[in-house]
Amino acid sequence: MGAFTRRAALLMTGAAIGVVGSRTMQSANPVLDGTQKITASGASNTLNDASELSETTIHRHMILTDNPGDMLVSAIRAEMKDAAAAGRPINVGAARHSMGAQAIPRNGHAITYDNGMVDFDSETGIARVHAGARWSQVIAALDPLGRSPKVMQSNHDFGVAATFCVNAHGWPVRLGPMGSTVRSFDIIVPGGDLVTCSREENAELFGLTMGGYGLTGAITSMELETAANTRLEPGFTTMPAEEFGNAFSSALEDEGVTMAYGRLNVERPRFMRDALMVTYRPADDQNDLPAVSGSGVMAKLASRVYRAQLGNERIKRWRWWMESDLGQSLGGGPVTRNSLINEPVATLNDRDPNRTDILHEYFISPAQFPEFLEICRAIIPASYQEFLNVTLRYIDTDPTSVLAYATEPRIAAVMSFSQEKTVRGEADMARMTRALVDGIIGIGGTYYLPYRPHPTPAQFAGAYSRAEEFAAAKRDLDPDLLFRNALWDQYLEPL
Ligand SMILES: Cc1cc2nc3c(=O)[nH]c(=O)nc-3n(C[C@H](O)[C@H](O)[C@H](O)COP(=O)(O)OP(=O)(O)OC[C@H]3O[C@@H](n4cnc5c(N)ncnc54)[C@H](O)[C@@H]3O)c2cc1C
């Protein structure tokens, strides 16, 4: 396919639009009281997210379900005009897997993108995608062409612009977050103009929007760098957890390593004492790559074992053995890069109405890894939370985004908890989160913003040193504060 013309595809096709809900009601957020269960009403004038704990009343929900075009831009502008006239906020979301209403405008106009369009330029290796495309659609389009997303999360359900707006990261090394692979994007800014941003054009808006949680406008399309899809072979190394930071940094100096992650043992008697490092290198044989597959037998088995860990230390021990020992012989064969990242979140679903999976993520410099372990060992086992997993990733310095979490090379520790959906569970999670954030800020680290809004505003400001600058620039761009969500309301508005 030849080079494309900027915005041509976007403006050619129509958009199907569905609108649900138009009443404004009192907040449907549950009253927190004693040991009461936290349940969502599921009312049509509310929206929730992956936490199942963020139910928020909205005014209206517009879902865009077809390819983007003139209609898309006009529909978004019309919705912005309506919202502005009524003094209500507006916010765009995709899969709403964020966990603290970062994609929900309270009493406002919610827009969900649910459509994909991927156009690949084989001369430049750049993919042009609609902002609402999910990674599963991007992988499906790129795989037959021998290409792969350069950086995305470890699961494929998320929206591409949403990934840019949280500035997510994944297993590819040595790379910065996903925003580092974005060449340009088109965005409807609060004033209504459709603007193109790159590192050369509207560069300030580029840096505000990357990791800016949808507060600068509605992205409509993006240009992304891609990588070659390759057959990869894993290598496994186990070590005392204290050694992981240095070992990970050294392993990544080998340019042959293109994907990598780590894990820590989570069974209580050896909590965060043992580490596993998995590095992937291109296999010698790159011929006849198989078409991308979904969850393999090992992923399905791993998911069952993952769930069975709940309250069961024996299974946690067994899982560690399976991953760090048995998995090397069973799951240690070659795999394509695309198959590795083509995993749905559903594989992890707990299917338990009384519990919910809550993620945390902390970013620390590799040199501080032993101190990070000390902090976690002192705080997590003493909480009432069920700790299921921690995955370790590498992220290179991000010099671009204003709300950057990797101002130097960092190890990301992605933690997964199973939380009881009760007031008691929520209070315990909040207490534990604040203790972890305090400790991690104390060693120069940061925490990730798409998860539960338990950190205090002071902790937020401590972790994100340019937050005030972001809030001031947002006010210049959007003086009527049209684009808002819970991240703005709770953390940025007070600055
Ligand atoms: C199971 C699971 C695994 C995860 N794994 C990883 C991981 O490996 N690495 C990682 O970094 N993160 C990970 N995350 C976090 C994930 O990247 C974020 O939650 C991300 O927001 C999910 O994308 P989404 O489509 O659900 O975004 P949403 O929650 O729908 O939106 C996120 C933000 O983007 C904004 N936004 C969305 N679309 C637009 C648009 N078109 N224009 C302007 N703003 C927009 C929204 O307003 C919101 O602020 C994981 C989360 C879960 C639940």
Contact between residue 454 and residue 429 where contact means Cβ atoms under 8 Å apart: yes
Q: How far is the CA of 183 from the centre of ligand 1 (A)?
A: 19
Question: Collapsing DSSP states into helix, strand and coil, what is residue 419?
Answer: strand
User: Does 17 have pLDDT greater than 50?
Assistant: no
User: Does 36 have pLDDT greater than 90?
Assistant: no
Domain boundaries, the chain: 231-451
Contact between residue 143 and residue 231 where contact means Cβ atoms under 8 Å apart: no
Question: Collapsing DSSP states into helix, strand and coil, what is residue 332?
Answer: coil
| β-pair partners for 263 | 276, 391
> How many CB atoms are closer than 10 A to CB 23?
11
For position 25, what pLDDT does the model report?
31
User: How big is the chain by its Cα radius of gyration, in Å?
Assistant: 22
For position 330, what pLDDT does the model report?
58
Compute the distance between CA of residue 280 and CA of residue 273 in angstroms, rounded to an integer.
24
Q: How far is the CA of 423 from the centre of ligand 1 (A)?
A: 26
Q: How far is the CA of 489 from the centre of ligand 1 (A)?
A: 18
Q: How far is the CA of 137 from the centre of ligand 1 (A)?
A: 16
For position 108, what pLDDT does the model report?
98
Residues 6 or more apart whose CB falls under 8 angstroms from that of 323 comprise: 263, 276, 302
The residue nearest atom 6 of ligand 1, judged by CA position, is 153
Tokens of 477: 């761009």
User: Does 119 have pLDDT greater than 50?
Assistant: yes
Mean pLDDT estimate for the chain:
90
The residue nearest atom 19 of ligand 1, judged by CA position, is 98
For 118, 194, 377, 432, the CA distances from 429, given in Å and listed in that order, are 40, 41, 16, 5
Compute the distance between CA of residue 158 and CA of residue 241 in angstroms, rounded to an integer.
31
For position 302, what pLDDT does the model report?
72
Helix axes of 297-308 and 313-321: crossing angle, nearest 10 degrees: 150
For position 331, what pLDDT does the model report?
57
For position 253, what pLDDT does the model report?
96
Kind and range of the H or E run holding 266: none
For position 315, what pLDDT does the model report?
84
Contact between residue 495 and residue 461 where contact means Cβ atoms under 8 Å apart: yes
Contact between residue 270 and residue 315 where contact means Cβ atoms under 8 Å apart: no
pLDDT digits (tens, 9 = 90+) for 321-379: 777 776 665 556 789 999 999 988 876 677 789 999 999 999 999 999 999 999 999 99
Compute the distance between CA of residue 155 and CA of residue 358 in angstroms, rounded to an integer.
15
Pocket probe mutation, ligand 1, options 49, 92, 474, max atoms within 8 Å of Cβ = 92
Kind and range of the H or E run holding 49: none
User: Does 438 have pLDDT greater than 80?
Assistant: yes
171-194 average pLDDT score: 97
Pocket probe mutation, ligand 1, options 47, 97, 169, 485, max atoms within 8 Å of Cβ = 97
Q: Ligand 1, closest atom to CA 451?
A: 19
Q: Which of 198, 157, 162, 202 is nearest to 180 (CA)?
A: 198
Q: How far is the CA of 24 from the centre of ligand 1 (A)?
A: 26
106-110 average pLDDT score: 98
User: Does 63 have pLDDT greater than 80?
Assistant: yes
Tokens of 115: 């459509």
Question: Collapsing DSSP states into helix, strand and coil, what is residue 323?
Answer: helix
For 35, 63, 493, the CA distances from 485, given in Å and listed in that order, are 29, 17, 10
Percent of the chain with pLDDT over 70: 89
Binning pLDDT at 50, 70 and 90, where does residue 24 land?
Answer: very low
Q: Which of 178, 161, 163, 186 is nearest to 4 (CA)?
A: 186
For position 28, what pLDDT does the model report?
40
Contact between residue 277 and residue 237 where contact means Cβ atoms under 8 Å apart: yes
Q: Ligand 1, closest atom to CA 483?
A: 47
Please state whether the peptide bond connecting residue 466 to the residue before it is cis, i.e. omega within 30 degrees of 0: no
- Give the strand pairing for 109-113 and 60-64: parallel
The better pLDDT of the pair 420, 352 is held by 420
Q: DSSP letter at 316?
A: H
174-198 average pLDDT score: 97
Residues 6 or more apart whose CB falls under 8 angstroms from that of 450 comprise: 97, 98, 99, 100, 102, 166, 168, 213
Residues 6 or more apart whose CB falls under 8 angstroms from that of 30 comprise: 36, 38, 39, 40, 55
User: Does 423 have pLDDT greater than 80?
Assistant: yes
- Please state which CATH class domain 231-451 belongs to: alpha beta
Q: How far is the CA of 216 from the centre of ligand 1 (A)?
A: 16
Q: How far is the CA of 326 from the centre of ligand 1 (A)?
A: 33
458-466 average pLDDT score: 98
Q: DSSP letter at 483?
A: B
Residues lining ligand 1, Cβ inside 6 A:
50, 91-98, 102-103, 113, 131, 153-155, 158-159, 161-163, 165-166, 168-170, 213-214, 218-219, 345, 348, 359, 450, 485
Q: Which of 48, 51, 45, 23 is nearest to 454 (CA)?
A: 51
How many helices (H) and strands (E) are present in the chain, helices listed first?
15, 20
Tokens of 492: 């940025």
For position 282, what pLDDT does the model report?
97
Pocket probe mutation, ligand 1, options 111, 164, 165, 360, max atoms within 8 Å of Cβ = 165
Q: How far is the CA of 449 from the centre of ligand 1 (A)?
A: 10
pLDDT digits (tens, 9 = 90+) for 146-170: 999 999 999 999 999 999 999 999 9
Q: How far is the CA of 284 from the centre of ligand 1 (A)?
A: 35
Place of tokens 């809900």: 21
The full DSSP string for 179-228 is GGGEEEEEEE-TTS-EEEEESSSSHHHHHHHTTSTT-S-EEEEEEEEEEE
